[in-house]
Structure 1
Amino acid sequence: MTPTIIALVVFLFPLAYSPGPGNMFFAANGARFGLRATLPANAGYHVATWVVAMVIGFGALKVFEAYPHLFDVLKLIGSGYVLWLAIKLFRAGGVGDIGDARPAGFTSGVVLLLFNPKAYVILLLMFSQFTDPAASDKTATVLLIASIFTLNNLGAFLVWTAVGDRLARRFRDTQQARGINRVFGLLLAGVAVWMVVA
């Protein structure tokens, strides 16, 4: 492992495991539906992560530099989407009271990534700090960085999802489960507000 890769992993680790839209979304879904039911959304999120990382690595940085307002638009749409998810979660019933609720699917995971400004900020920082403009093989560098970023995120999301799942298993009582949903809903709403003001 080269010093650059070690530095990249050290840079990404706290960013991936800190609370953010993705982590809160998957923790909440883990609490509501269990770890296994979140796997399609997790797959969607991380396929989209890898693709967006590759696109940014190969030149989208220039687009964001040329059109900085585009990033602001993504930020507002993303915060609105996360707030909508927070409201749905806050209103959810207990674990046994699923009714017509369904776990998020592959497409929901893709949408969450596409409108997650935290992911774009990290990607922009990552490629600006860990790519060498003079490198002869840029394709291999972008591929490696995008893959490390995606795998690191996947690990973090699985941990957050498992934590949500464990909490829900501990609190199977309907009232306690509603309380967990409300806590996660409020946390997700807080993340939505942070996305706008940060």
Structure 2
Amino acid sequence: MLQTAIALVLFLFPLAFSPGPGNMFFAANGARFGFRATIPANVGYHIATWIVTAAIGFGFLTAIEQFPQLFTMLKLAGSLYVFWIAWKMLKAGALEGAEDAKPATFMDGAVLLLLNPKAYVIIALMFTQFLTNSGFNTFANVILITTVFTFNNLLAFSIWTLVGDQIASLFRSPESAKRLNLLFGTVLALVAIWMVLS
């Protein structure tokens, strides 16, 4: 079991720490509101991660294979959601009244996971690589893989959030804060476009 967990972490490390929709979302929110304010969204995202990963491990993947249009719909919905977040940041960066902006909520975090097609691809790939070769009973393996995956993501997102928070500390004036919002809003918009095209 320990061997499986170590191999899984090595497999997931580059995937979890690469700049995908989740990492960019939390880096942007960390930059905008600070690390502490992102905790509810982080909790929401990772509770949803654990539930969705376990569901896929116990057979949800079969449903997606039978209905491939479901994946296409999730991909489009996820990219639109990330683009909407980017639009809110771009608007806050370009207009007065940015002080009215609020940090992402628990529900925002959960919805981001549910509409993130990259997460579904990684989860499906992970189970095909580690569930069949592990040698323990299926239930225990699904729980192990789900938990390792969730905590690995939590670590990656926390690091990205701290990086965003530290970058923001260099931009405390209103003018530079607007430029930072425009930067992260643009990055998120590009991520949304990438999600549609990939």
Unaligned runs of 5+ in 2: none
C-alpha distance after superposition, 1:28-75 (max 9, x if no partner)? 111111000000000000000000000000001111111111100000
Instruction: State the 1:175 CA deviation.
Output: 1.4
What letter matches 2:137 in structure 1? D
2:53 maps to which residue?
53
Q: Contact conserved, 1:38 with 1:103, CA < 8 A, in 2?
A: yes
Aligned ranges 1:161-172 → 2 under 5 Å: 161-172=161-172
Q: CA deviation at 1:4?
A: 2.6
| CA RMSD of superposed structures (Å) | 1.7
**Partner of residue 115, structure 2:** 115
Give the Cα separation in 1 of the matches to 2:33 and 2:103: 6
Structure 1 residue 29 corresponds to structure 2 residue 29: yes
Q: Is the 8 A contact 1:22 1:113 kept in 2?
A: yes
Structure 1 match to 2:19: 19
Matches within 5 A, 1:147-186: 147-186=147-186
What is the distance in 1 between the residues matched to 2:114 and 2:135?
29
On the 8 A contact 2:4/2:134 being kept in 1, the answer is: no
| Aligned match of 1:104 | 104
Q: Which residue identity is paired with 1:27? A: A
For residues 98 and 182 of structure 2, the distance between their equivalents in structure 1, rounded to whole angstroms, comes to 15
* Structure 1 position 134, deviation (Å): 8.6
Q: How many residue pairs were aligned?
A: 197
**Cα separation, partners in 2 of 1:33 and 1:136, compared to 1, 3 Å:** closer
Counterpart CA distance in 2 for 1:120 and 1:23 is 15
What code does the residue aligned with 1:161 have?
T
What TM-score, normalized by structure 2, do the two folds share? 0.94
**TM-score, normalised to structure 1's length?**
0.94
Alpha-carbon contact 2:93-2:180 (below 8 Å) kept: no
Q: CA deviation at 1:99?
A: 2.5
Distance 1:98 1:83 in 2: 18
Q: Percentage identity across aligned positions?
A: 58
Deviation, 1:109, is 0.5
The residue matched to 1:113 in structure 2 has which SS?
A: helix
- Cα 1:134–1:11, aligned 2, differ >3 Å: closer, same or farther? closer
Q: Which runs of 5+ in 1 are unaligned?
A: none
Within 1, Cα distance between the matches of 2:8 and 2:151?
Answer: 12
**Is this contact kept in 2: 1:97–1:174, CA < 8 A?**
no
Find out whether 1:44 has 2:53 as its counterpart: no
Q: Give distance in 2, aligned partners of 1:197 and 1:75.
A: 10
Decide whether aligned partners of structure 1 residues 136 and 99 sit closer, same or farther in structure 2, where only a CA change above 3 A counts: closer
Q: In 1, are the aligned partners of 2:93 and 2:179 still within 8 Å (CA)?
A: no
- Judge conservation of contact 1:93–1:174 (CA < 8 Å) in 2: no
